[in-house]
Structure 1
Amino acid sequence: MTTENSQPKLTTVATLPEHYFLENLAVRADGSMLVTALNRRELWWAPAPAEDATIGAVLVDRLEGLPMSIVEAEPDVFYVSSMAPATLDRFDLRGWTPGAPVNRTRVLNFASQAAGLNGSCLLAPGVILVADCAAGLIWRVDLSDDGMAGTAKVWLKHDSMAPGLDPERAVHLTQTFSIPYPGVNGVRTAEKSNHVYFTGSWEQIFVRVAFDPDTHEPVGEPEVVFKGIHAVDDFCMDENKGVAYITTHIDNSLYSVPLDPGVAAKETKLIVGDPIDDRFLGPSSAAWGRQEGDYGRVAYFTTDGGHTPPNNSGLIRPSAVVRIEF
């Protein structure tokens, strides 16, 4: 594992106050973004980055639980998973304007054992995968034809997904709700190779598992792509280049990791975080831009500004969405 000599270009494009835990984001077709503020139980909208922008982030809705990941299942229709309680809500943003009431529908209340819904991705039309970092498994959600309801079952449970059970390492998300140190965290679909990739925070691993393109069920055993990145969190993937960009939440860093296990050990690189950049404190999730040429070149990352302990930077900054140009 090496450190990249030339760092990518970082730009802060949206901010919220200090101690907002920005967990996940989705980039809309128009370049604006939806962002979950986990510890505030809120969903926010941020405008598309522009030099002459005069409008800041706008509150979209307040939720019952702690909102985590966001999946766009059809154009401008998004599904937000939450913890405490474990739920899936549908946000129909077709025709919506910032500041207007939003069309939200409860699609699914998960079984009681779904304690830590975290990252999610679209596996196929109408099929969403949701990582459960506390139960150590990935759920499969099949949406109804109209997208207004869903059913959940366990898609895959594996030792690589297990959380840490040391009570001293528990993560206190709010004053009243804690989870074990997360197991399976981020999850993404590699459509070209028919693989699902996921991170395991407790085991410090990046893993892939094949799936059947017809049934969308996993095939064979999960395969470790790379092991040894501390505090590994969520990621985005460039299938054309064959690389994932993986955040480390409490280590304030970003790694480039090949998708091929055969070369990951030799070519994994630390590309942001040495030295610590105070624009990139507490990075969590990532999403590619939606403009022409953005895929593989321009991505957006949520940060919590150093809110989550242990904070090895010693700094607290406003939470932010950061644009990175590779």
Structure 2
Amino acid sequence: MPMTPVPDVALAPVAYFPEKYFLENLAVRADGSVLITAVLQKELWIVPSTPPGSMAEPVLVHAFDHLITGVAEVEPDVFIVSVTDGYATHESHLVRIDLGGWTPGEPVAPEIVFTFDDRVRALNGSCLLGPGVLAVADCFDPGRIWRVDLGEGARSASARVWLEHDTMADDPDSEIASPPQPGVNGVRYSARIGYLYYTSTAQKVFMRVPVDPGTLDPAGGAEFVAAIDNADDFCVDEDAGFAYVTRHRANTLDRVPLKPRHGSEVRHLAGDPFDEVLVGPSSAVWGRSSGDYGRVMYVTTDGGTTAPPDGVFRKAALLRVVLSPRAES
């Protein structure tokens, strides 16, 4: 069976951030604006919705006391943000931010809804498994995914280990000494396919776990899907059967099949040859306008904060990425 043709890819900056800003994760709101976590700066930002081809000015939402990583919308305009100082102190929280009726520039009132115990090393990506249920990656040794059950209005929570697996561990012997390369990093749940997918940066793999649709607990063990190095976060196209993975230090966006035994079909979509627009891509989500799913995604970059190509730092950015069928030659 022939492989699905690789699409044409158009990259366009939507907003720029200063050099050495580490944009980590993002969530697109219903109005098309984009929430972005800046992990090292400990800040949450919003980029207002703009027409395709135009630029926007980012607006600071809130500055935190600890590193900020994952962000997930758990109710309309209610977001849970992962705040962590795990590598240094193991202090990690889930913070509720309600943007209903909020106007950019106004203050917000973050609420800590859960504090993890000291088993957590460092929170990373997160996603919804179902209404009021989050999966949250804990990316340093031994590495695990937590299940978080939210209370009414997402104002309280309980948590337990959802799954541990060898592929979730970090690499203490990595050439990158401090902190080590994370293990389990990005997590995304595909309800239609029935699997939670995750990347492990240190172990250089893309994995999946079957999910019981009733309990939302694992229905089996972790399964190898494909080998991929430098993988960070990703988005999933259930219709096409692919994940689109940001390779952070390698400066590419790759297409990875969602089914095992198709690892040879992993392809670079952008960044090879090197493209200055795509330096340090860290996460990807689909837009929410009609027709965006499977076609228009938003990608964060750090401009080379963690691994500057040729020693040159660029501005961090939010990109709009459009996939379109490749014209036949």
* TM tier relative to shorter chain: over 0.9
Corresponding position of 1:170: 177
C-alpha RMSD of the superposition: 1.7
With structure 1 as the length reference, what TM-score do the two structures score? 0.92
CA distance in 2, matches of 1:6, 1:242: 14
| Counterpart pick for 1:111 among 103, 107, 117 | 117
Corresponding position of 1:278: 276
| Correspondence list, 1:80-91, <5 A | 80-84=81-85, 85-91=91-97
Corresponding position of 1:146: 153
Corresponding position of 2:88: none
Corresponding position of 1:317: 314
Corresponding position of 1:61: 62
Change (3 A) 1:167 1:278: closer
Structure 1: runs of 5+ lacking an equivalent = 172-178
Which AA in structure 1 matches 2:176?
R
Contact persistence 2:148–2:160 (CA under 8 A)? yes
CA distance in 2, matches of 1:153, 1:221: 17
Which AA in structure 1 matches 2:167?
S
Contact persistence 2:9–2:321 (CA under 8 A)? yes
1:271 match: secondary structure: strand
2:170 match: secondary structure: coil
Contact persistence 1:70–1:80 (CA under 8 A)? yes
Contact persistence 1:89–1:106 (CA under 8 A)? yes
Shift of 1:170: 3.1
Change (3 A) 1:251 1:54: closer
Corresponding position of 1:176: none
Q: C-alpha deviations, 1:211-232, integer Å up to 9, x for none?
A: 11111110111110001x2211
Shift of 1:152: 1.2
Contact persistence 2:187–2:199 (CA under 8 A)? yes
Which AA in structure 2 matches 1:232?
A
Contact persistence 1:162–1:183 (CA under 8 A)? yes
Contact persistence 2:14–2:53 (CA under 8 A)? no
| Correspondence list, 1:63-212, <5 A | 63-84=64-85, 85-135=91-141, 136-166=143-173, 168-171=175-178, 179-212=179-212
Q: How many residues align?
A: 314
CA distance in 2, matches of 1:232, 1:55: 28
Q: C-alpha deviations, 1:76-128, integer Å up to 9, x for none?
A: 00010022131110010000000011131111111112121001100010000
With structure 2 as the length reference, what TM-score do the two structures score? 0.92
CA distance in 2, matches of 1:295, 1:6: 14
Shift of 1:181: 1.6
